[in-house]
Structure 1
Amino acid sequence: MQQVAVIGGSRYFGRQVVRQLREAGAEVTLINRGSAPAPDGVRHLIADRDDARSLRAALGGREFDVVLDQVCGTPLQAAVAREVFRDRVARYVMTSTIEVYDPATDASITPSPPDRPVREESIDLANWPVRPELPWQDPAFRETQYGEGKRQAEAVFGRDPVFPFASVRSAHVLGGGPADFTGRLRHYVQRLRQGRPIDVHRVNFRSSFTHRHEIADVLVWAAGSDFTGPVNARAHGEFDVVELCARIAEQGTPAPRYRTVEPGATASPFAFDRYYGMDNSRAERLGYRFSRSADWLSGVIAEELAG
């Protein structure tokens, strides 16, 4: 029986990851700070993953075939995990994000042309600066540096690796009702129902998305595979904020009204003034087959409207 440790993952699509691992016959150990209970049949270890001593004490002598790290978001967290798990895991998979490609968060990242989705190698992890001295323990700083924290975490794991390491760079995850954990889809449904304007850019670019069930499935697939390095995870079929609002209105809300923000100002979620959609061909070459957003977007919107 495969031994899998999941760090975080007790909420949102993480619960589905745990469920699918169990259904596949794995023995799952959930590691978190105790903020949420483990599902039935899952071993629960309570530890501060930022603290090597706390994490090592909770693990005891346990070893794992795979660690699936759902919440690593800073180079400090990656360094702790690298130290603690180096002699007790055969494979380490980190959940990463499309935001590692966002040129708005680092001047060295070149925006992609709208007809050329970005590939994994566009981020040079081998030479990416890692800055552990930054205030990564400050929640406000981590929130504003989310993409950078993920980039640096991947760089820590990938350099001079002490175990086989892979990362799954997730597109924007969509789910409706309670599964809308970011609240972004809810933002649009509420504004359209209330007749309030949607803040957009003069030109809005498409981006990549994935269904919450799909990203859980990709992570389980990655845990059971043997590739290393990053893979992009997104459904086929990109769309922009105007297309999203039109699809919501088709299901019964008032037609959207738009308000253009000044260049450089913050617009609504999913309103992007640059393109950084992802190329998912590496994952497909490795054997994963992605969905088409056209097949599930209406259902996700219906879930949110009902919720």
Structure 2
Amino acid sequence: MEKVLDVLVIGGNRYVGKRLIVRLLAEGHRVTVLNRGSCPPPAGVEHLRADRDDERSLTDALGSRVFDVVVDQVCYTPRQAAIARRVFTGRTRRYVMTSTVEVYEYEDSPALVREESVDPSAVAVDPDLPWDDPAFVEAHYGEGKRQAEAVLMAGPGFESTVVRVAHVLGGHDDFTGRLAHYAERIRTGEPIAVPAVNRPATYVYVEEIARFLAWAAGEDFTGPVNAASRGVLSTEELCVAVSAHVPGGRAEFRPVEVGEVSPFSFRRSYGMDNTRATRLGFAFGDARQWLPRAVAETLGKGD
């Protein structure tokens, strides 16, 4: 067995985070979870309750604890990142932040985007924006993540990795409702609004991203890394997979030039290159192979 690690997971009470904790435990690591306490963690996990936005609350909950690695599932703003950097400097050997493909929201190329397209050291950080306003944070999700990356990776003394996660699919507990959106429209025959030019995107299976994060926790690399399955998927391909679970249903698309469109339909390319992760030693699967299973799980048709 590999070295046993003391791992702190910040967040971890739903979806990817729950699966990450299960994997870390199965690998024999000692796991501590820190969150506000809305859901109890699995057996065998130490549970710390704190508001990660409150620096005093965070330091009080941690006490004198130190960790080999911290996996931060819920860092959305540069303010949160700044608190984390102050609190965990000297407390952990390595910090892994779950980031997002949305950091590439200003990149638009038919080629799969590589990590160097967004260099955290070149990102301007503005701590005076209204990062305490949930509506502002939601509306500026990509920017918040981009600036959080920049804070964590600014200068020496804090070894960090940011995992830029593709759109996640699968699991009976997918809380987003995005595939259900398609299932309902296919069932009722309501047109599905898509951009006039609808671009494909890369995706990752929920179990695969949990496996990647658990793997990354035990590695030593730093810097940004893209986490995406091989191959891009179009909205049409997603709807074919959904239609298999809607008897008699058929997807009808309504192209729109401006205005709101359906989930997983994009006016620009959303594809990530996963070459760095592959070179580091992680093998992602093919999206088209796991897609039927992921859709079946989400729509309640899986095992």
* TM-score (norm. length: structure 1): 0.94
Q: Deviation at 1:23?
A: 1.0
Distance in 1 (CA, whole Å) between partners of 2:300 and 2:81 is: 39
Pair 1:256-2:256 in alignment: no
Match of 1:266 among 257, 260, 271: 260
8 Å Cα contact 1:95-1:168 kept in structure 2: yes
Match of 1:172 among 162, 167, 174: 167
Distance in 2 (CA, whole Å) between partners of 1:211 and 1:142 is: 26
Give the alignment of 1:275-294 within 5 angstroms: 275-294=269-288
Q: Which amino acid aligns with 1:111?
A: D
Q: Which amino acid aligns with 2:33?
A: L
Q: Which amino acid aligns with 1:185?
A: L
Aligned to 1:123: 118
Aligned to 2:180: 186
Identity of aligned residues (%): 54
Name the SS of the counterpart of 1:306 in structure 2: coil
Deviations 1:54-102 (A, max 9, x none): 1000000000000000010100000000000001100100000001101
Pair 1:92-2:95 in alignment: yes
Distance in 2 (CA, whole Å) between partners of 1:72 and 1:85 is: 14
Distance in 2 (CA, whole Å) between partners of 1:86 and 1:176 is: 35
Q: Deviation at 1:177?
A: 2.9
Structure 1 stretches of at least 4 aligned residues deviating more than 6 Å after TM superposition:
none
Match of 1:295 among 250, 274, 289: 289
8 Å Cα contact 2:76-2:141 kept in structure 1: yes
Aligned to 1:158: 153
Deviations 1:85-136 (A, max 9, x none): 0011001000000011012xxxxxx411x2x100000012112110110111
Distance in 1 (CA, whole Å) between partners of 2:13 and 2:81 is: 19
Give the alignment of 1:69-108 within 5 angstroms: 69-103=72-106
Match of 1:43 among 38, 43, 46: 46
Distance in 2 (CA, whole Å) between partners of 1:212 and 1:124 is: 26
Q: Which amino acid aligns with 2:251?
A: P
Name the SS of the counterpart of 1:91 in structure 2: strand
Name the SS of the counterpart of 1:200 in structure 2: strand
Q: Deviation at 1:262?
A: 2.5
Match of 1:3 among 6, 11, 15: 6
Pair 1:28-2:23 in alignment: no
Select between 194-203 and 87-96 the one with higher mean Cα deviation: 194-203
Distance in 1 (CA, whole Å) between partners of 2:296 and 2:114 is: 32
Q: Deviation at 1:176?
A: 4.1
Change (3 A) 1:72 1:97: same
Aligned to 1:106: none
* Structure 1 residue runs without a partner (length 5+): 104-109
8 Å Cα contact 1:175-1:181 kept in structure 2: no
Pair 1:234-2:228 in alignment: yes
Name the SS of the counterpart of 1:208 in structure 2: strand
Equivalenced residues, count: 297
